[in-house]
Structure 1
Amino acid sequence: MIRMRAKMRITNVEKHSAEYETLHFHAVAKDGPYPSDGSDEDNTYAKFSPSGELKLSIANPALIGKFNVGDTFYVDFTPVG
């Protein structure tokens, strides 16, 4: 079974109304060099998935207003079935 994990950071929270917003994510990256010893976890993610975007609209009242620019998440891709 193929599985993949990405590390994504929120770059924009687009508020449409009090009940609906869109989260914009980009793959982690760093301005400048990573440590040569590979100790920065973002280095591994940036090396193997150097770019990526995700846009997720949410309308769950329990989640509206809970996400902020700069929040970072693991996004897991697991096949269904």
Structure 2
Amino acid sequence: MSVRAKFKLVRREEGSEGFSLKFEPVTSGSPENDQFFKYTPWGELKLGTINAEAAREFTVGDEYYLDFTPAPRPS
């Protein structure tokens, strides 16, 4: 089973240890966002990276799908 959520980047900061990205779930703005808010996880997501090129791929205000798919267990 997998779960898809939709989050919006609300803050991107650069600090001495790299970049911090803060995402919040979508709650409105389109019929699709209404559905995501109704049926998927809520909360906040904070990611960090030292890779400036990767951090530039994320734009404050843009929305992103987050797919949660179980990883295989080590054998």
Pairwise CA distance, 1:23: 0.4
**How far apart in 1 are the matches of 2:53 and 2:68?**
24
Aligned residues: 72
Pairwise CA distance, 1:27: 0.6
When residues 13 and 44 of structure 1 are mapped into structure 2, their CA distance, relative to the original with a 3 A threshold, is same
Q: Return the index of the structure with the highest Cα Rg.
A: 1
Worse-superposed segment, 56-65 or 67-76: 56-65
- The runs of 5 or more residues in structure 2 that have no matched partner are none
**What is the match of residue 44 of structure 2?**
53
What do you get for the CA RMSD once the two structures are aligned? Answer: 2.0
Bigger helix share: 2
Share of identical aligned residues, percent? 38
1:66 to 49, 54, 57: 57
TM-score by length of 1: 0.75
1:30 to 28, 31, 40: 28
